[in-house]
Structure 1
């Protein structure tokens, strides 16, 4: 099914920079380390990354994989790739704007396709998985992750709980329907099978999220993601009020010093 809101997969304006500054170290870095090491263990000769965002996984792949392994990092949003390219990698990679629903690559082009926290935004996941299967060589792997249910991710659930209180008649639901809306492992396995990837291993993987203060998660979630667009639509001062409300909720739960909370994701490995 298509996303409920057209802007859910749009990362533009200042969102890419704030995403990179606050959300990447907060929640994406630990899983980027894991997924890059998993890809390295598969000993690929060529890798395609989907939904590369601002390049956190790309940077790890460039460091973890031998220099002769080709890496193509793609994303639907060119502004995210611009930030990734500006940030740079340890060795050259190819940056490519591309839609995962219709990949601009020939059949059987890659040994591994990898995607960190992007599959939740695909309008038709089985079709996207079929595209991944198409560009994989026989015996290749599709490796990806998706966030577990929001209740199992402490900081974002606290932020969203505060927004529920602030906007009780029409609370913003980007985090629920987008990042945290695709966690059922049976559903994921079914989508993979319909996409031609019936052999899959899907597991829950926990990590710990850390930030110097409550301010960082609020700036990440409320300013550095498409949640911002949904908040701003509620009025000219809505973002300021949301920032204050979410910060107060995090301070109440985690205290005024460095903050630490649980994060959890679903990690899948499917073989072509």
Structure 2
């Protein structure tokens, strides 16, 4: 999945507040309750969770990884992450010894992994006995009204071949039973899956439209269809305005938060 060029900075600026910061606070609060000394973050992206984890666990050894060096470059540039070790790594083939960490966390990254079973096995391997895994995945797109509005707008603009990134990847892995069974197969004995609903807020429809259309792989889907990126972004902005009104865009968003040991 291509998160390169200008995408990481746009992603961080326009989608951080809208989608990722509220769940980062929730996930890090759960992490801090475990009081881990050694923490591995997978699919760290631009460091939204990383920064909060570093603040919440000032004495911990925190290693943040991602497959994209461009995303990690943004994460490493945050003032809060100055003490974090950053490393490009594939969650399906982790370059760490068995039992290296007290906790592993991954916010909205598992959905992107082609071989989830292998990744879960790697997460279990690098955890010490009794260590904790914390992950979050989006619920279905129908449970996330802002994303659903974007998807509908894109389908209207490209009726013959609509971009399917949102429904296919971010919102395409949300069956609690499937996740629970996969983690148990990876030798996690205790698996808790909770639905967490939080408010999603963007300063404006235009800001949200830029985030989705230009700060995610949707951008590549638009460009590959030969469409004008600015025109498609404006069409999405208009749809968001029609649905949520002028001014701030506000709606609930829903995700599954998984704790496994």
Q: TM-score, normalised by structure 1?
A: 0.94
Return the offset for 1:91.
5.0
1:251 paired residue number: 241
Task: Name which of structure 1's ranges 82-91 and 249-258 shifts more when overlaid on structure 2.
Answer: 82-91
Q: How far apart in 1 are the matches of 2:214 and 2:95? A: 32
Return the offset for 1:160.
0.7
Distance 1:251 1:185, change over 3 A: same
Matched, 1:106 2:97: yes
Out of 249, 252, 259, the position equivalent to 1:262 is 252
Matched, 1:45 2:45: no
Structure 1 consecutive aligned stretches of length 4 or more whose deviation exceeds 4 Å: none
Q: How far apart in 2 are the matches of 1:236 and 1:132? A: 40
User: Structure 2 regions of 5+ residues with no counterpart?
Assistant: none
2:207 paired residue number: 216
Question: How many equivalent residue pairs?
Answer: 261
Task: Name which of structure 1's ranges 163-172 and 87-96 shifts more when overlaid on structure 2.
Answer: 87-96
Out of 161, 169, 188, the position equivalent to 2:160 is 169
Matched, 1:16 2:8: yes
Out of 126, 149, 155, the position equivalent to 1:135 is 126
Return the offset for 1:255.
1.0
Return the offset for 1:236.
4.5
Out of 174, 178, 182, the position equivalent to 1:187 is 178
The superposition leaves residues 171-227 of structure 1 with CA deviations (integer Å, 9 ceiling, x where unpaired) of 100011110000000111111122222420001100111111101110111100011
Q: How far apart in 2 are the matches of 1:138 and 1:75? A: 24
Q: How far apart in 1 are the matches of 2:171 and 2:71? A: 20
Return the offset for 1:81.
0.3
Confirm or deny: 8 A CA contact 1:52 1:58 kept in the other structure: yes
Q: How far apart in 2 are the matches of 1:126 and 1:196? A: 11
User: Structure 1 regions of 5+ residues with no counterpart?
Assistant: 1-8
Return the offset for 1:265.
0.4
Confirm or deny: 8 A CA contact 1:205 1:264 kept in the other structure: yes
Q: How far apart in 2 are the matches of 1:87 and 1:224? A: 18
Confirm or deny: 8 A CA contact 2:137 2:173 kept in the other structure: yes
SS at match of 1:51: coil
SS at match of 1:40: helix
Confirm or deny: 8 A CA contact 2:108 2:137 kept in the other structure: yes
The superposition leaves residues 48-82 of structure 1 with CA deviations (integer Å, 9 ceiling, x where unpaired) of 000000000000001101x3210000000000000
SS at match of 2:77: helix
SS at match of 2:55: helix
Confirm or deny: 8 A CA contact 2:76 2:82 kept in the other structure: no
Root-mean-square deviation (CA, aligned residues, Å) is 1.0
Matched, 1:25 2:17: yes
Matched, 1:233 2:213: no
Return the offset for 1:90.
5.5
